Structure formats: structure tokens, C-alpha cells
Homo-oligomer: A and B are copies of this chain.
């Protein structure tokens, strides 16, 4: 029985400024069925308010507490551990980390910095790691579908570079960290085994959710999906479906009444 639904955003609900066909209506169907929803995005280029505005513009009503981002998880981690961040993130994301300057130690925070990834910035972060700073990765996605429709390097590539050179392993804040999926379910009074995740990333969304103990994870053929992705990572998706509309049919046929 499915009692809660986690949805990825980019490549599942929208692609750039437009919805993926049928996605907005699909979200409405899930809401009308009474299923609690959480939106779990690994996009680390956009601040929360822009994501919420983008969803509103598409006609998807999302409350602040329904959106989970790695940046928010990182801010909570930094507060809990009393660390001052050294940010290697997209310039648009920096404001979300304001007011954390009083920590008693340092933590490097790496997101998809886009054009802000250059040799000097990466090297400064590398040297912080060598000097003992904590290492936080907002995401470890390998690729994302860029504005031109082709795959581009995502944060995970740069995290891998720093990991290789420093010999340090990051604390991963976003997907596929089990903590991220489980914190999305917190407050829903729903065991992980009764929740389903829908995403276009067979590794980060799908295998990650299943490893976190979710009962099901659906891979959509939209967004960054490439043929064969469904067999590329372990565990494999519970089902491969065309898009969020098809995922919704799958979910509603298995949902708690």
C-alpha cells in the first residue's frame, strides 16, 4: 500500500520553464487522492524561492515544508555541528547560507557551482580539506540535462575530483543519501516501506530511494533518462514508466484507499 509520494522536480515535473507533458495534472491527481507529497530536488543551482516560484508559475501549489533541498539540509548540518562554511556553490545559492559565520570550525560545501567551478576555486577547497575542514557535498549526481538538451557535468564530478585528490569522503546531504529521503518522510507518519519515489536519475533517485528503504521507486523516461539506465544501477527501478502521468496511474492503483 502506498501512503506517501516523493517526487523529483527537474526532468520529472518540469524541464527548464515548461512542464513535462501531463505533469501538472498528475500532481493534482495525486493530491486529490489524498496522498501526501514531498518534492525532493538535487538541483543546487536554484535557491528555494526560485524553485517555489517556478512551480507556482506552472500551476503546482507547493508549501514551503513540502520542498526539500540539499542546501536546506546542509544549513541544518552546519548549525548542528557549529561549522563555518567555505562555499563552492552556485552564486545564486549563497544567500541561503547567510548567518553561519560564527562556527568553531570550517566545512567545505560543494554544490553544482556551474561556471564558478574553476581551477583556483577548486584548489582553495582542496587545500581546506587537506587542512582538515569537514567535507559536505550537496549532491553527487554525475550529470544533468542542460538547457541545450545535452547532458552536462553535475556536482558529483567535482566532488569526485576533490575526493580523489584529498583522500577524504564527503558527507552527502542530498540524494542519494538515505538521511535525505528519510527526512523528507519525517512528519508524514508513513513508514519508508509505504512510500514511493519518482525520478529520472536511475542512480541518485531510484537506487538511492530503494537503498534508503522506500517500498518502491519508479524511473521515468523523461528528463535525463537514457535507454538502458534501468539496468545500469543496483537496485533496479521497481518499474520503468513513460512519465509522471504514467507513474501516477501506477501509484494510484496501489495507493491506500
Contacts and interface: CB of A to CB of B under 8 A. Distances in A.
Interface of A: 113-120, 122-123, 126-127, 130, 142-143, 150-154, 156-158, 160-165, 167
The A contact surface, by secondary structure, is helix
A114 B130 CA distance: 19
Contacts of A143: 126, 165
Contacts of A115: 118-120
A161 B137 CA distance: 14
Assembly stoichiometry (copies): 2
A113 to B, nearest CB: 8
A251 B167 CA distance: 32
A153 B117 contact: no
A179 B150 CA distance: 36
Given A127-B151, A156-B165, A157-B162, 9 more contacts: A117-B119, A118-B118, A118-B119, A126-B143, A126-B157, A142-B164, A143-B165, A154-B165, A161-B161
Contacts of A127: 150-152
Nearest to A232: B167
